[in-house]
Amino acid sequence: MPQVTANKLQIEYEIFGDASAPAILLIMGLGAQLGRWNIELCTALVDRGFRVIRFDNRDCGLSTKLDELGVPDIGKALRTGRPVDAPYTLQDMAADCIGLLDALAIERAHVVGASMGGAIAQILSALYPQRVLSLTCLMTTSGHPDLPPPTPEASRALFAPLPEKRDKESLIEDAIRRFLAVASPSYPSCPQRLLDSFNAEHERGYHPRGVARQLAAFLASDHRRELLQTITAPTLVLHGADDPLIPVACGYDVAAHIPGAEIRVIEGLGHDLPLALTEEFADAIAAVARRAER
C-alpha cells in the first residue's frame, strides 16, 4: 500500500474506486488499523459510486509511530483524577486527515468516523467545513461528562492491562477477548475470520505504545457539544442500541447538538461493524452523501 507525507507524518492509506468519483474518507477508532474498515464495506461504497479512502491513523498500523513522545501513564491519571498528559490531541489527528486529503489532491470529501474516529470526524467537520461534504458518525460521542459511561465489562475491556504472557498467541487471544466484550450481540462474527483478521493485524503493525498515546488524546480532549453546533455539513449519526462501550445515549447527544442531524439506531448492534450490516451501513452513508450533493 502507498504512503504520503501528511502533517509531517507518513500516513499509510489505500484507495478503492474511480478517481473521478466523489471521495469518502473513512476514519477508524482507537488503535484500529485501516483493515477494520472491512473490504466488503469499501466495495459496497464503490458500488454506490464513490471513491473510498481508508488509512492508518498516526501511531497505528504502518503510519508513523511517535515513540519519541513517550508513553502516558493513563492508569495513574485515572487513579488520581488528574488530567491525562497527552502528547498530542484529537485536533492534531484531524489535521492529519486534512494533510492526507491535501496530499491526494482531494478538495472535499464525505467524512465517516467510527468511535474515536467519529470524534476526529466531528472536529474535522467543525474546524475545516470547506473540506467536508457530509458527515457520518458511527458509534461515537460528544465526550460530555454527563453522558453515561461504558458498562463495567466494556471498561475492563478498554483499560485492562496486557496479559502477563506477551507471546503472539496470548496477545491475539487478549485482543479478541476485548473485541468480543463490546461486539454486537445480534450479529456475531465468524470465529475463524476474527482470528485471521487479528492475526494479520498483529503481524502488520502491533504497537501498544501507540494505542496508549491515542487513548490519552481521546481522554484529554474536552467535550465537543459547542463545537458540534457549528457543523454545517449534512450529518447522519449511526449508533447501536446495544453498544456497551459508547452507550446509545451518546449517539442521541451527538445528533441533538449538530444542526439538522439525523440519527439512526440499529437494534442488536454493539461497538463493531458486523459484516451482516454491510449493505445497511453502505446505504445509510450513501444516502447522507447524496443528500449533501443535492
Which pLDDT belongs to residue 174?
96
Note whether residue 21 is domain-resident: yes
pLDDT at 137: 98
| pLDDT at residue 81, as a whole number | 80
Domain that holds residue 91: 3-150+208-293
Three-state secondary-structure class, residue 3: strand
Domain presence at residue 199: no
Is residue 177 in some structural domain?
no
Question: Does some domain include residue 93?
Answer: yes
> Which residues make Cβ contacts (< 8 Å) with residue 233, sequence separation at least 6?
111, 125, 129, 132, 133, 134, 135, 292
CA 283 vs CA 41, 133, 277: distances in Å: 10, 17, 10
**Closest alpha carbon to 11 in 41, 43, 48, 56:** 56
Predicted pLDDT at 158: 87
Tell me the DSSP string of 114-170. ETHHHHHHHHHHHH-GGGEEEEEEES-----TTS----HHHHHHHHPPPPS--SHHH
Residue 268 lies in a domain: yes
Report strand pairing: 9-16 vs 51-55.
antiparallel
Q: Is residue 194 part of a domain?
A: no
Is this prediction's pTM over 0.95? Answer: yes
| Predicted pLDDT of residue 80 | 84
Domain count, the chain: 1
pLDDT at 4: 97
What pLDDT is stored for residue 83 in this prediction?
84
Per-residue pLDDT of the chain (294 residues; tens, 9 = 90+): 799 999 999 999 999 999 999 999 999 999 999 999 999 999 999 999 999 999 999 999 999 999 999 999 888 877 888 888 999 999 999 999 999 999 999 999 999 999 999 999 999 999 999 999 999 999 999 999 999 999 999 999 888 888 989 899 999 999 999 999 999 999 999 999 999 999 999 999 999 999 999 999 999 999 999 999 999 999 999 999 999 999 999 999 999 999 999 999 999 999 999 999 999 999 999 999 999 987
CATH number at residue 252: 3.40.50.1820
Instruction: Please check whether residue 141 lies inside any domain of the structure.
Output: yes
**pLDDT, position 38:** 97
Nearest CA to 275 out of 189, 209, 149, 216 is that of 189
Does residue 171 belong to any structural domain of this protein? no
